[in-house]
Amino acid sequence: MGEVTRTLGTAIVIIGLIAGQAAAEEPGAPAVERRSEGAEKIGLMIFPPLLWRPPAVGDEVERRTLSNGIILYLYPDRTLPLLDVVGLIHGGRLYDPGEKAGLARVAASQIRAGGTTSIAADALNEELESLAASLELSAGDEALEVRLNLLSKHTERGVRLMTDVLTRPAFDAGQLELARGRFLEELRRRRDNPTELLHKEFAALHYTHRHPLGLEPSETSLRSISREDLIAFHRRYVRPDNLLLAAAGDFDKEALVALLEQSLGSWSANGRSSLPSVPNVETAAKPGVYLIERPIPQSSIAIGHFGVDRTNPDRQAIELMNVVLGGGGFASRITKRVRSAEGLAYSVGSRFGTEGRQPGLFQVVALTRTDATAQAVAAILEEIKRLRETPVPAAELEAAKEAISNSYLFWFTDPTQTVRRLMLLEFEGLPPDYYHTLLDRYRAVTGDRLQQVARRYVKPDDLAIVVVGDAKALAPTLTTFGEARKIPHEAPAAHTP
């Protein structure tokens, strides 16, 4: 496995170089930088297609269910004397009440940091440290995630501590106030970071404040979160019928299942699990130029519109299209032109949201100097237009397929990552054989289909151009792309010496 990984890692680099050659050789394609003699030789190399099958539930990985409904995924691996346990709980940012934005994140931190009814927060930290173990909780858009990592000889104690944290959090009031202070400081610091501000405002523009994905925590919402809110959150979401656990590492399956049953099996839920309804995303276009004032000599640019959700039947074709456009690193079209050939940005690339329960965002993000902003935007828009109007050359498409297919192997480089991915399929409602048919779905994409997908899902008339920078200097240069509108935003936080 290690040798295969190293070989394919080299192949990804090689394929990236080949993709550049494909774009340069196509009639009508824009000029690209000259390639070295070594790159020319690499371009002549031919590699066989990747023939590899990931571990599967029912083979290397076993799925079990505890008596109270907790679902287990088990992947023993005795290579190292370590155990990883990963848990997923339905209940992330998507379910935050509007007036309590940030609740899932605060709750996740305090389930772990607030101690339990049997062990105080400081004592819990000290014991975990003495075991050389880590136990953490975090909150994402759709899930809370718990992670336990420790030496396998401490498995029993580690599982019992995890059980205590999940089932009997104390939500210490003092710890909550400390956490609130950290979150408020983090919020203030975000105003100083142009890139973070760009992503926040781009999301808010599209999702709007009527949807959780467009609503970031505010000082008001964070201050409103009480200990009672955390208790109610825990009661609603952290329950056995809403929990999936995956274990990977040095363990005996029967012994670990027995331990988990003994520790967690008596945990009962009151009533049936129910998640709050989430408003549908209103995918209305937000075209135009939007400026966010920051008196700095550089610009952070986001150009894009809504993407798709994970059930979209064109998902793999869209992902391949994005590799060609700007998601394939130095081999992608936008990066080669805007960064390498024309020197208009020191960082540029694209992302097309396809993995969420609700529509994600398509974005081309570039970081450049103020006087190069309009040129960079124009070049990006030209590449978007070319992708829609000109068929992708066969060699460039094949190079993109190879790059994305070979990177797929790295999704399964260790047992923990592998078993988590398999558990995530069930969590997200995807078919169990999703990964086993994934490469075939990528390979089946033709040039015609890629162009059809580009024309359908990349919409020049819907593009919003959001720029953080010197609005006074930028506004006159961006009028070519539409009337510039300002997005009001608080000034950066003052720093005290």
Rounded to whole angstroms, the Cα distance separating 275 from 233 reads 11
Rg (CA), the chain: 25
294, two tokens? 């920051």
CATH superfamily of 2-48+283-486: Metalloenzyme, LuxS/M16 peptidase-like (3.30.830.10)
- The domain limits of the chain are 2-48+283-486, 62-264
Rounded to whole angstroms, the Cα distance separating 155 from 247 reads 11
Per-residue pLDDT of the chain (497 residues), as tens digits, is 443 343 444 444 444 444 444 444 444 445 445 567 776 777 677 766 666 788 899 999 999 999 999 999 999 999 999 999 999 999 999 999 989 999 999 999 999 999 999 999 999 999 999 999 999 999 999 999 999 999 999 999 999 999 999 999 999 999 999 999 999 999 988 888 999 999 999 999 999 999 999 999 999 999 999 999 999 999 999 999 999 999 999 999 999 999 999 999 999 977 777 889 998 999 999 999 999 999 999 999 999 999 999 999 999 999 999 999 999 998 999 999 999 999 999 899 999 999 999 999 999 999 999 999 999 999 999 999 999 999 999 999 999 998 888 888 888 989 999 999 999 999 999 999 999 999 999 999 999 999 999 999 999 999 999 999 999 999 999 999 998 999 986 554 433 32
Rounded to whole angstroms, the Cα distance separating 346 from 299 reads 11
Cα dist from 367 to 190, 377, 478, whole Å: 17, 11, 16
pTM: 0.86
Q: Do 2-48+283-486 and 62-264 fold alike per CATH?
A: yes
Rounded to whole angstroms, the Cα distance separating 426 from 432 reads 7
Which overall architecture, per CATH, does domain 62-264 show? 2-Layer Sandwich (3.30)
